[in-house]
Each structure stands twice: as structure tokens, then as C-alpha cells.
């Protein structure tokens, strides 16, 4: 029978990191984070005090800070951005928590299919997702609005995508896969005897969720919340595609403007850096808040050494209604946008779904993709970058989480914050910093190659990886490692035989998440583009900015198919492991 700890208990002592030989990974991870995060941060700070914003230019000024923080528009944009970020975070958490619980902890039917479908939208480049939603919910030409008008005779459009609410809706839906992946390992590792005990005591589903499930999952939910909130502050794709046309600006729109359209002809790196300090400040505050809340890690321990056995919660008569709810989410978040995307990929130009347009159907866009001589190189580059970055992020995240949560290593809080910080640095600044670093570091000639993009992605996605593995690491009781050490196992063997297997669902989730995001990431790849390191999203972006969204949609469709295979294999292996 599993022993599950809900209330604070005397925590088992943390690992003796010096004696167990764990100092090597601690030092290694520390050095890696200094290189990946601190160096770009220093360049960012230097950039913010250079008159031109170029770090190696001469001069010193605080004018960028004065200009940024005394500008009324900045605070107006910050207000808009806060509404957008908080709204989309709450929306994503609500749906993500519900779906993660249904998939991981209940006997809802067709769970494998549901899990796959929740993760699928990750492969869709956000700019294409935003276009799809404009085509669905635009007040003038939106297919859903047209359908509702035809069915119910509405004179005016029911939905208007060009609004803050529309932006929150689409961003929230796009964040659900990430929320699901952060939370699902935590749900999976939760002992069901707690729920059973609550139900035996007469608790209903509401009480069960409020009094048992949510308190146990607080670290994972907080981790997801902080992550989503920062993403909401810095993300540009959806504010750019939906907010910008209607003049709804956010801080990321401002950064885009300063980077790409600044009237001086050069990016205003100085002001962008000064703005990034605002994001970093907010992130550090949230990171400290998270650390404060989770400092008594034993409160959240659910995996002990005494017979942990996951079991599904019986939904009984709610099985199919629960599936119907999940199916409704799929229809909104996956099927409808994907259908539009597929339709667009077979059209010669962007046009709505109609009987007249059926005659225009063509496979030209797909044929162009396969006959493009740069597509093979871009595909090879993207796959290599994604595989390497995903693997490194998954491994380093595990080590970071072990150091932060389980070890007594000095400076572990710094490591925690360092691993999280890149999330708050806009992609354009990470790109800028890496260009300077690798243009000047002669012994690592990776400027213009795919490896500089790999480093950018490792830096950027480590924050997601470490948040995800933190939640699971908090759930693993120290008794397990202590038992292994007592039996004579060293640090490496304990990690290999105890920690890694128990954290495997989270590690796999991180790997798939990073892989999918690497396959679609654009900002850094564009900034770091050289002669031979073009990626698939850069190719897709070329079509998009070159006035060929239909070809971009075709690339998007193939990207989604590729990820479908990855997710399918992942699910197959997961099931085999569970069996």
C-alpha cells in the first residue's frame, strides 16, 4: 500500500552532494548556465546603456531607461499586456488542468487519442494558427460567424476575433498543450488512494478537486502559471496577427516595431534591452515567490518507496460526457483550425470555404514544397536542431531540477533562477547576444551554422524544461534516493535506476515539447540565419512574408504530420512501458 504524504512531515535529509560524487554535475550545470544565460544577460545589460544599443559601440547612457519608463505609452501597453497575459494564463490553466486530470487520472475513454490530439497543436506555427482563427472568427469573413448567421439568422457577427478577448481566447488555446505537458506528469504521479479516501468520506467531485487534487498539484500549477504568464508577456505571434490589425498593441508589438520597423533603419536594441529588464524583474519576483512557496518540498511528496501504484479514478456516468467535453475542445482548438489550414494549403490564394472555391483546389503548394531545392536542407537542419536541442534540454532540465530540489549544493537557488531567466528575454535579444558571443569567440566557430541555433534553443527552452521536471522532482520522496545510497549506489546509479525512471514521463514530455517548439520556432532562427542554416520555419516564413500563405500552410501541414508521427511513437512507447 502506498504511503502518501499530504501534511508537512519531517523531510528526509537532502542528498549529501559532496560525498556522493554529485559535485561534478552541479559544477557542470552551473558552468553551462553561466555560459548560456549569464553571458547573454551581460550583453543585454551593456546594450541597454549604450547610446546606439550595439554592445561593442562606445558611450554610456541611461537614456533608454528614461525613455522607456517615463513614456506613458509603455505603461498603457504594459496594462494591455497584463490583461492579455493573465487572461490567457487563466484560460489555459482552466482547460489544461481539466484535461490533464481527465487524461491521467480518470477512466475517460480513448485517452491515447485525446492525449495525442491535445499535443498536436504544438506543431502548428502560431502565425498559421492565428490566420486560421482569423478565417474562423473574423466578423466579416469568419466561417463560424457565417455558419451561425446561416443557422440562426443573426444579422451581426457573433464573434469578433479582432479584440483583446479574441487574442486571449486564441493564445489560451495555443498554451493548453504546454499546460497539459507541465501538469500531466504531476497528475500521473499522484497517488489515487487520496482521492479514494476523500470519496469514501463523502466528498463530491468539486470537493475532491478543491481539497485534495489542487493542493497536491500546487507546485506544478504554480510552475505552469508562472511560465504561461511570462510567455503571455513576451509572445508576439498572436498579438501580431490578431491584435496588430485592430490596433491593439502589447509590449511585444512594441519590441517588434523597435526591432524591425524602427524609422532610423537600425533596431533600437538599447530600448528593447531596457524593456527586457522589466520582464526580467517580473520574472525574478515570480521565481522568488515560487521558491518561497515550495521551500517545504515534502508537503508535495506523493511518490514514496512504499508501493506506489497509479490507478484511474472512476468517472462512471461521466465518462462519455467528459469525452464529449474534451472532443469539444479538440474541435475548437485542433480540428477547426487544422481544417482551415488544410483547405488553405490546397488553394491557390487565401480564400474562404465555399462550393465555388472547390474548383480551385490544387496540389501545387505541396508539390512546390517537395520540389524546392532548399526544402531538403531546411528539413535536415530543422530535424537535427530539434533532436539535439530537445535531448540536451531534457537532460539538463533533469539535472537542474535535481540540484534545485534534491541537493544541498550551494547556489542552487541561483541555478534555479538562471535556468528560468531566458524565458523573459525576447528572442531577438537572445539572437543579438549570441551573434556577438560567437562572432568574437574564435575557438567555437559556429556563427552562421545550425549549432548557434541549437544553443539559442537550449537557452530559451530550458525554462520550460526545468519547470516541468521541478514539479515531478518535488513529488519524489527523498527516501527513495536514501535507500539507494544505503544499498551502496553512487550518484550516477541512483539517478539512472531511481530518479530517471520515476521522472521519465516528465522527461519525455519535455523532449516532445522542445522538439515541437524547435521545429516551429522562428524569431531566433531568423535572427541567426546564415548561409546554410535555414530551417523549415524560416522557409515557411519566406512563403508567408512573400505573399504565399498557401505554400506556408502546406509546409505547416507537413510539419504537423511529422509531429504526429513523433507523438504517435511517444504514445506507443509510453503505453508499452505502462503495460
Partner 1 sequence: MTTKFLTMLSLGAVSAIALATAAHAQSMEDLVAEATDGEVVLWYESSQAEQGAQIIDAFNESYPDIEVEHVRVTGGNGLGATIIQEAQANAETASLATGGVSHLGALIERDLLMPVPEAAGIAAELMGNEYLVNTAASVYVAVWNTDAVAEDEAPTTWEDFLDPQWAGRIGTWVISAGFSNLAAEYGEEETRSLVEGFAGQEPLLYRSTFPLAQQVAAGEVDVAMGIFHTAQPPIQAGAPIAVGALDPTPMNTIWSGIVSEGANTAGAAVFLAWLVSPEGAAAYEAATNRGNAIVEGTNTSALLEGRTLSEWSYDELENYSRLMAEFNETLAAGGSSVE
Binding mask 372-401 for partner 1 (x = CB under 8 A): xxx---------------------------
Tell whether residue 541 is a contact of partner 1 (CB under 8 A). Answer: yes
User: Which residues, 132 to 161, sit near partner 1 by CB under 8 A?
Assistant: 134-135, 138, 140-141, 160
Tell whether residue 349 is a contact of partner 1 (CB under 8 A). Answer: yes
Tell whether residue 545 is a contact of partner 1 (CB under 8 A). Answer: yes
Contact 269, 47 (CB under 8 A): yes
Tell whether residue 262 is a contact of partner 1 (CB under 8 A). Answer: yes
Nearest CB to partner 1, comparing residues 69 and 257: 257
Neighbours of 460 (CB within 10 A): 23
Q: What is the DSSP string of 348-360?
A: SS-----HHHHTT
List 58, 202, 442, 579, residue binding partner 1 (CB under 8 A): 442
Tell whether residue 549 is a contact of partner 1 (CB under 8 A). Answer: yes
* Piece of the chain touching partner 1 by CB under 8 A; list 184-192, 202-210, 249-257, 274-282: 249-257
Contact 80, 160 (CB under 8 A): no
Tell whether residue 547 is a contact of partner 1 (CB under 8 A). Answer: yes
Distances 432 to 44, 257, 259, 537 between C-alpha atoms, Å: 9, 16, 11, 19
The C-alpha atoms of residue 558 and residue 556 are separated, in whole angstroms, by 5
User: Which residues, 266 to 295, sit near partner 1 by CB under 8 A?
Assistant: 266-267, 269
Nearest CB to partner 1, comparing residues 166 and 172: 166
Please choose, from the candidates 519, 517, 507, 514, the residue with its C-alpha nearest in 3D space to the C-alpha of residue 574.
Answer: 507
Tell whether residue 331 is a contact of partner 1 (CB under 8 A). Answer: no
**Rounded to an integer, what is the distance from CA 106 to the centroid of its chain?**
25
List 282, 422, 542, 556, residue binding partner 1 (CB under 8 A): 542
The C-alpha atoms of residue 212 and residue 519 are separated, in whole angstroms, by 38
53: left (phi over 0), alpha (psi -120 to 50) or beta: left
The C-alpha atoms of residue 68 and residue 274 are separated, in whole angstroms, by 7
The least CB distance from residue 54 to partner 1, in Å, is 6
The least CB distance from residue 539 to partner 1, in Å, is 8
Tell whether residue 526 is a contact of partner 1 (CB under 8 A). Answer: yes
The C-alpha atoms of residue 211 and residue 98 are separated, in whole angstroms, by 15
The least CB distance from residue 438 to partner 1, in Å, is 9
Contact 15, 478 (CB under 8 A): yes
Q: Classify residue 200 as exposed, middle or buried by CB count within 10 Å of its CB (0-12, 13-18, 19+).
A: exposed
User: Which residues, 81 to 110, sit near partner 1 by CB under 8 A?
Assistant: none
Chain contacts with partner 1 (rule: CB under 8 A)? 54, 56, 134-135, 138, 140-141, 160, 162-164, 240-241, 244-249, 256-257, 259-267, 269, 348-352, 360, 372-374, 432, 435-436, 439-440, 442, 447-448, 526-527, 529-531, 534, 538-539, 541-550
Amino acid at each position: 500500500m502506498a504511503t502518501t504524504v499530504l501534511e508537512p512531515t519531517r523531510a528526509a535529509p537532502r542528498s549529501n552532494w559532496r560525498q556522493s560524487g554529485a559535485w561534478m554535475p552541479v559544477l557542470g550545470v552551473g558552468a553551462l548556465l553561466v555560459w548560456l544565460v549569464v553571458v547573454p544577460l551581460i550583453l543585454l545589460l551593456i546594450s541597454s546603456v549604450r547610446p546606439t544599443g550595439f554592445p561593442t559601440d562606445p558611450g554610456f547612457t541611461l537614456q533608454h531607461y528614461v525613455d522607456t519608463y517615463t513614456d506613458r505609452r509603455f505603461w498603457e501597453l504594459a496594462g494591455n499586456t497584463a490583461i492579455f497575459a493573465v487572461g490567457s494564463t487563466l484560460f489555459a490553466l482552466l482547460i489544461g488542468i481539466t484535461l490533464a486530470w481527465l487524461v491521467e487520472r480518470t477512466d475517460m475513454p480513448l485517452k491515447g487519442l485525446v492525449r495525442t490530439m491535445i499535443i498536436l497543436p504544438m506543431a502548428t506555427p502560431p502565425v498559421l494558427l492565428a490566420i486560421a482563427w482569423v478565417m474562423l472568427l473574423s466578423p466579416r469573413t469568419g466561417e463560424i460567424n457565417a455558419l451561425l448567421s446561416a443557422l440562426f439568422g443573426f444579422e451581426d457577427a457573433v464573434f469578433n476575433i479582432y479584440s483583446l478577448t479574441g487574442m486571449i481566447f486564441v493564445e489560451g488555446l495555443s498554451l493548453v498543450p504546454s499546460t497539459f505537458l507541465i501538469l500531466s506528469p504531476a497528475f500521473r504521479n499522484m497517488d489515487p488512494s487520496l482521492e479514494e479516501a476523500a470519496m469514501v468520506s463523502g466528498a463530491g467531485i468539486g470537493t475532491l478537486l478543491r481539497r485534495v487534487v489542487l493542493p497536491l498539484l500546487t507546485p506544478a500549477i504554480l510552475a505552469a502559471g508562472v511560465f504561461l504568464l511570462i510567455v503571455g508577456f513576451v509572445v508576439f505571434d498572436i498579438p501580431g496577427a490578431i491584435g496588430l490589425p485592430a490596433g491593439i498593441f502589447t509590449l511585444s508589438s512594441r519590441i517588434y516595431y523597435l526591432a524591425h520597423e524602427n524609422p532610423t533603419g537600425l533596431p533600437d536594441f538599447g530600448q528593447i534591452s531596457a524593456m527586457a529588464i522589466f520582464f526580467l524583474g517580473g520574472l525574478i519576483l515570480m521565481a522568488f515567490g515560487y521558491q518561497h512557496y515550495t521551500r517545504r518540498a515534502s508537503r508535495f511528496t506523493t511518490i514514496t518507496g512504499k508501493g506506489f501504484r497509479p490507478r484511474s479514478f472512476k468517472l462512471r456516468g461521466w465518462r462519455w460526457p467528459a469525452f464529449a467535453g474534451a472532443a469539444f475542445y479538440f474541435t475548437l482548438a485542433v480540428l477547426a483550425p487544422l481544417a482551415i489550414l488544410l483547405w488553405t494549403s490546397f488553394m491557390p490564394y487565401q480564400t474562404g470555404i465555399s462550393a465555388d472555391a472547390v474548383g480551385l483546389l490544387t496540389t501545387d503548394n505541396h508539390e512546390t514544397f517537395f520540389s524546392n531545392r532548399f526544402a531538403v536542407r531546411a528539413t535536415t537542419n530543422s530535424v537535427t536542431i530539434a533532436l539535439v536541442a530537445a535531448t540536451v534540454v531534457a537532460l539538463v532540465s533533469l539535472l537542474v531540477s535535481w540540484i534545485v530540489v534534491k541537493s544541498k549544493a550551494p547556489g542552487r537557488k541561483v541555478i534555479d533562477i538562471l535556468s528560468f531567466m531566458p524565458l523573459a528575454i525576447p528572442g531577438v535579444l537572445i539572437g543579438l547576444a549570441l551573434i556577438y558571443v560567437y562572432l568574437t569567440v574564435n575557438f567555437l566557430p559556429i556563427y552562421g551554422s545550425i549549432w548557434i541555433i541549437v544553443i539559442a534553443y537550449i537557452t530559451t527552452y530550458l525554462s520550460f524544461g526545468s519547470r516541468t521536471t521541478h514539479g515531478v522532482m518535488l513529488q519524489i520522496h527523498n527516501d527513495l534516493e536514501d535507500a539507494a545510497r544505503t544499498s551502496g549506489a553512487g550518484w550516477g546509479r541512483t539517478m539512472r535506476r531511481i530518479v530517471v525512471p520515476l521522472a521519465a514521463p516528465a522527461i519525455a514530455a519535455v523532449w516532445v515539447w522542445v522538439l515541437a517548439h524547435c521545429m516551429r520556432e522562428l524569431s531566433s532562427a531568423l535572427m541567426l540565419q546564415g548561409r546554410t542554416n535555414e530551417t523549415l520555419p524560416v522557409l515557411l516564413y519566406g512563403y508567408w512574408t512573400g505573399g504565399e500563405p498557401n505554400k506556408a500552410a502546406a509546409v505547416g501541414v507537413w510539419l504537423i504530420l511529422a509531429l504526429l508521427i513523433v507523438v504517435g511513437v511517444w504514445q506507443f512507447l509510453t503505453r508499452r512501458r505502462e503495460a
